[in-house]
Amino acid sequence: MEDQLADFRQLLGKVYDLRAAAQLLGWDQQTYMPPGGGPARAQQIATLEQLSHERFVSDEFGAALSAAQHAVADLDPDSDDACLVREVTRLHDRSVRVSSEWVGEFNHQTGLAFEAWVKAKPAADFNSFIPHLKQIVVLRRQYAEFFAPYEHVYDPLIAEFEPGIKTLEVKAIFDDLRPTQVALLREIVERGSDVNDDFLHIDYDDHQQRRFGEEVIRQIGYDFDRGRQDSAAHPFTTEFGINDVRITTRIKTDYMPTGLFSTMHEAGHALYAQGVKQSLDRTPLINGASLGFHESQSRMIENLVGRSLPFWRAYYPQLQQTFPSQLGSVKLQDFYRAINKVKPSLIRTEADEATYNLHVMLRFDLEISMMRGELEVADLPEAWSAKMQEYLGLDVPDHTRGVLQDVHWSGGSIGYFPTYALGNLIAAQLWETIQSAIPDLEQQIANKDFSTLLAWLRENVHQHGGKFKPSDLLQRITGQSLTAEPYTAYLRRKYAEIYQL
């Protein structure tokens, strides 16, 4: 039995070595690669991904997986090995349905699409991106067909990022959440904003911002001996193993919160990846329970910690010392209100907590329409503008701040966006449980003490990696299934105080 599991782990490790190498090339593509390297890089990544996929669906691996399934049959179902075999079986069942040719083609096309998007976005040139996005929609429909019959054409796509949840369940949660969020937003806007954030929009030194952000995340628990931070146009976290978890950030010298909160956000992802138990390294379980769960960790560090008053009681004096001419005369309360200012805006990644999910719902609606063939790619900008008006009351002035703003579609990630909103909901649900487990949490944060919080997250969330389905993990931790209620309660509490609603 030991031997069978060892053989299985060895073959699995090789599959993931190839994938990690492809991811490293992807990291380089978004950080240091010269612009000319794009086409060759797309091919290199496609080759590695295809090799990885071929090994994973090979007869040799299939036989090792069957042997491993027998070997774990009598083990505790919660043991690492039993969970690993169960999860790999799920991934394997999915992968054997997808042809290697499709994987190669998909990776090649998305490599080219990414390069096209990088050029199209600053030029607001949607036309040059249309053929690429059309190709991606076609490939994603082909992908869905590998899983036919399905209830909804979007189900196989969302399953790649959020195992176990159906499109209609997400739709029901969003349909429930949207009116509450739209009503809260309207109330805030009607209240009239006297929140001044001009002092955030002045010049802040790039280097000083970076240093401050790195000190904050080091204190929260991000381990720089097993990670590093670089710059990227669209910040992301990537891991090549539990002991090499890299984050990226985007510093703006004319708007300070962008860099700090993207650093904290990515650090939240990285804490999860660095916190997975070492025995799960070199397996797909290091990627966590789901993207929604991952996002719950990043949004928790970014918002529930980073945009809270206790956090700034701890860090504001230091920030003022770092930027005395910008913030020396700004009071803590005014700073806190400024970083939480609610203002419907065009850009998802810069959206405040009151509007963020509405950006996600817009994309969710449009992706479903494209996948169902009800919306042509060429008509996307028009549909985008209509939704922006409906959800956020805004006109879209150009494609840079409209359909071209996100990297996801260029990477073929249709079905990914809903996980951002689910992450917000999961974060708030976990936070309620954490607050009852650690009654003086706010005081600890105000003392720059994150050790109890991190230990709780390590014990309850991080260490398990992808051992459990997201819905099971949430149930184990909170005793509840997914619900929007803690999130809407949190938003109301927070903004009632800031805006005196």
Choose one: 23-31, 243-251, 296-304, 484-492; the region binding Zn ion (CB under 5 A).
296-304
The smaller minimum CB distance to Zn ion, of residues 340 and 424, is found at: 424
CB of 260 to Zn ion, least distance (A): 15
Residue 288: left (phi > 0), alpha (psi -120 to 50), or beta?
left
For Zn ion (CB under 5 A), the number of binding residues is: 1
Rounded to a whole number of angstroms, the minimum distance from the CB of residue 409 to Zn ion is 16
Q: Which is nearer to Zn ion, 204 or 236 (CB)?
A: 236
State the nearest-atom distance from the C-beta of 499 to Zn ion, in Å: 27
We find the least distance from the C-beta atom of residue 235 to Zn ion, in angstroms, to be: 8
What residues contact 85, with CB distance under 8 A and at least 6 apart? 8, 65, 68, 69, 71, 72
18 contact partners, CB below 8 Å, separation of at least 6: 48, 49, 51, 52, 55
In 3D, which of 409, 17, 431 has the Cα closest to residue 241? 17
Q: How far is the CB of 291 from Zn ion (least distance, A)?
A: 8
Q: Which is nearer to Zn ion, 209 or 298 (CB)?
A: 298
List of E strands, 138-219: none
Comparing CB distances to Zn ion, the nearer of 161 and 336 is: 161
Q: Which range of residues in 93-101, 290-298, 331-339, 371-379 is near Zn ion by CB under 5 A?
A: 290-298
3-class state of residue 243 by DSSP: coil
Beta-carbon count within 10 A of 337 CB: 19
Q: Which stretch binds Zn ion (CB under 5 A): 213-221, 295-303, 309-317, 340-348?
A: 295-303
For 297-345, the three-class secondary structure string (H helix, E strand, C coil) is: HHHHHHHHHCCCHHHHHHHHHHHHHHCHHHHCCCCHHHHHHHHCCCCCC
Nearer to Zn ion among residue 109 and residue 298 (C-beta) = 298
Smallest separation, CB 358 to Zn ion (Å): 17
How far apart, in whole angstroms, are the C-alpha atoms of residue 364 and residue 361? 5
The interface region with Zn ion, picked from 5-13, 111-119, 294-302, 373-381 by CB under 5 A, is 294-302
Cis (ω within 30 of 0) for the bond into 317?
A: no
The active-site residue, picked from 49, 87, 214, 266, is: 266
Instruction: Give the whole-angstrom CA distance, residue 63 versus residue 118.
Output: 43
Q: What residues from 124 to 163 belong to the interface with Zn ion (CB under 5 A)? A: none
Q: What is the dihedral of CA 404, 405, 411, 413, to 10 degrees?
A: -100
Rule CB under 5 A: say whether 357 interacts with Zn ion. Answer: no
298 belongs to the binding site for Zn ion (CB under 5 A): yes
- Compute the distance between CA of residue 427 and CA of residue 308 in angstroms, rounded to an integer: 14
Residue 262 interacts with Zn ion (CB under 5 A): yes or no: no
Nearer to Zn ion among residue 298 and residue 303 (C-beta): 298
Examine the residue annotation and report whether 350 is marked as an active-site residue of this protein: no
Residues that bind Zn ion (CB under 5 A): 298
Active site residues: 266
